Structure 1
Amino acid sequence: MELRQLEYFVAICEELHFSKAAEKLYVSQPNLSQQIKLLENELGVPLFNRIGRRITITEAGQLLYNHSKQILSHISQAQVSISELKQMKGGSLTIGILPGDADLMFNALLLDFHHKYPDVTLSLVETMSVTERVINGTFDIGVTIAPISDERLVHQSLFYEEFSLAVANKSPLARKKAVQLRDLQEEKLVLFPSEHQCRKLIDDASSRLGFRLKPVIETTTLSSMLSLVENNVGATVLPKLLLENLHHEGIETVPITDPTPGQDICLIYRSDKYLGFAARTFITAIKEYIEAAKQKAVTS
């Protein structure tokens, strides 16, 4: 049984005339008659009573007509839904990111994306298990730290993220051209908690030099951290790109050297997963947003 045969059958039921149904469907009457005959042979029952040039629907035909209308209606609705999804009129997308990245990168991006595609439902989840939850299908896409070696995943590099020191513009450090990482062990610092990815990066870099930074205050909130820095409570270490795009008047950015902490940020999704239009469009939006942020940092 083919969908085309059901469409032909419904048209005949509604016209009760083979010739009129053929005209409506833009097919020849012999072809239409042949398809109905094939359908009747497959079902093993007549679908129409043929009385001269008139036809009526049999009991089996009426039963098939009722089901066929529902089937065709569901298919039509599915086609509309898929069309709307392709045009970004609907759909949903679940994105996994590392803790803190919503503040550091995604807030402005999500706002812009929502304005462009208000009917797309976005779910942004912060977790340390981004990779695992992309693999098990909980997340459609994820943004995490490279390298990614799992063959089940496709990974696309987004950018290399260097970290800089943020200090109050009235701090003596603000006048320095650069500071060495080991010099920060003598400074008052405001940092994310130890489980935060930014903090882990800083701790790993300092540990390789034989020391561990001891912040005077830990906070999970970027706005609080920047306020504390601006009021000269302490300095902090944050992504350079973020600091350059914030343009916080009371804060100066100072490069960190020997070494400069940094990490590769990448986007991941399952290699066997079909990416709908929503996912593909959001991936493009991420890349465009990052490129714009880079250009803004260069020209500012």
Structure 2
Amino acid sequence: MELKQLQYFLAICEELHFSRAANKMGVSAPNISQQMRGLEEELGVLLFDRSGKKITLTDAGEILRAHAAAVFGHLQQANDAISDLKKTKGGSFSIGVLPGDADLLFNLLILRFHQTYPQIALSLLETTKVTEQVLDRSIDVGVTIEPISDERLTKIPLFHEEFSLAVNVHDPVSKESSVSLRMLQNMKTVLFPPDHHCRKVIDQFCMEQGFRLKPQMEATTLSSLIHMVESGVGVSILPRMLLDNLGSKEIRTIPLINPIPSQDICLIYRSDRFVGYAIRAFIRMLREYIEAATLNVKSPSHGHS
């Protein structure tokens, strides 16, 4: 059994057509057919059912496809590992985050990462389809919301994110030590649109309490929401870590209670990919960054910006 035969075999598995597979691999149809007959003779089984109009895999073919894919997966990992070794501390990778999270968490982190590892090329992409794009390999790693249960993915829990109220310092509500979630019904709110992941979390918690929020205004960008709160248009509901590290003199952070809206954030990547130096360095810095930001949230000055 040769690697070339397995490559041809996997091409046929993808195309389910000998001529198209031959064209894809840059060989003639008789050549690829001959290679498959030789493979079947060597194994002593039929790999394809050719009786109908379309060829299909036999049970033996299904078994070989799974193992052949694993073989080439391991070879790719070996190639990636060797390439990573040659680059030593260089490399490149892409990371996908949910819309808004680049502002919420990553802008400063990306700058620090570049300053620490200037030889590593990093691209940051905002996408609503983090999981799907990690799976189809269009991005290398993603930061998203749990639960994640796909066995094709490795998950690294990052932190439990709670939401708080962002209030203008001149608003009477800013005097409160905490605000019950139900009290939001009587407040003017400025929020992300309903399809934003942060808004979905907030709406779900509110619905469980028996009400729906009717925002005074909606905005797609974090900077717009912050500006509206600073201008006294209304209150907003945003991640507490963000608010306590915001540094705005016009905004006070008020804890939300009964219940506290929250979500779990994790990092994901394909389980079959080689995790090189660049990604390992980023994960390490991300964890340190989150730990430092969390400590700031838990400091005695919590609640003030």
TM-score by length of structure 1 reads: 0.70
Could you say which structure has the larger radius of gyration? Answer: 1
Residue ranges of structure 2 left out of the alignment (5+ in a row): 1-79
| Corresponding residue of 1:106 | 106
Give, in angstroms, the shift of residue 165 of structure 1. 0.3
2:88 corresponds to which of 86, 90, 115? 86
Q: Letter of the aligned partner of 2:123 in structure 1?
A: S
Matches within 5 A, 1:136-151: 136-151=136-151
Write out per-residue CA displacement over residues 10-41 of structure 1, whole angstroms, 9 at most, x where no aligned residue: xxxxxxxxxxxxxxxxxxxxxxxxxxxxxxxx
- Where 1:99 maps in the other structure, the secondary structure is coil
The structure-2 alpha-carbon separation of the partners of 1:259 and 1:135, relative to structure 1 and needing over 3 Å to count, comes to: same
Distance in 2 between residues matched to 1:295 and 1:180, nearest whole Å: 24
The answer to whether the 8 A contact 2:89-2:119 is kept is: no
Write out per-residue CA displacement over residues 249-280 of structure 1, whole angstroms, 9 at most, x where no aligned residue: 11111111111100000011111110111111
Write out per-residue CA displacement over residues 167-194 of structure 1, whole angstroms, 9 at most, x where no aligned residue: 0011011011111111101111111111
The answer to whether the 8 A contact 1:85-1:277 is kept is: no
Q: Which moved more, 1:186-195 or 1:218-227?
A: 218-227
Percent of pairs identical after alignment?
52
- Where 1:246 maps in the other structure, the secondary structure is coil
Give, in angstroms, the shift of residue 86 of structure 1. 2.3
Give, in angstroms, the shift of residue 106 of structure 1. 0.3
Give, in angstroms, the shift of residue 96 of structure 1. 1.0
Over the aligned positions, Cα root-mean-square deviation in angstroms equals 1.8
Give, in angstroms, the shift of residue 119 of structure 1. 3.0
The answer to whether the 8 A contact 2:81-2:276 is kept is: no
Give, in angstroms, the shift of residue 141 of structure 1. 0.7
Distance in 2 between residues matched to 1:170 and 1:84, nearest whole Å: 58
The answer to whether the 8 A contact 2:181-2:206 is kept is: yes
State yes or no: 1:247 paired with 2:244.
no
Distance in 2 between residues matched to 1:264 and 1:238, nearest whole Å: 14
| Corresponding residue of 1:296 | 296
State the number of aligned residues.
221
Distance in 2 between residues matched to 1:156 and 1:114, nearest whole Å: 22
The structure-2 alpha-carbon separation of the partners of 1:82 and 1:159, relative to structure 1 and needing over 3 Å to count, comes to: closer
| Corresponding residue of 1:115 | 115
The answer to whether the 8 A contact 1:154-1:268 is kept is: yes
Give, in angstroms, the shift of residue 83 of structure 1. 4.9
TM-score by length of structure 2 reads: 0.69
- Where 2:290 maps in the other structure, the secondary structure is helix
The answer to whether the 8 A contact 1:85-1:278 is kept is: no
| Corresponding residue of 2:231 | 231
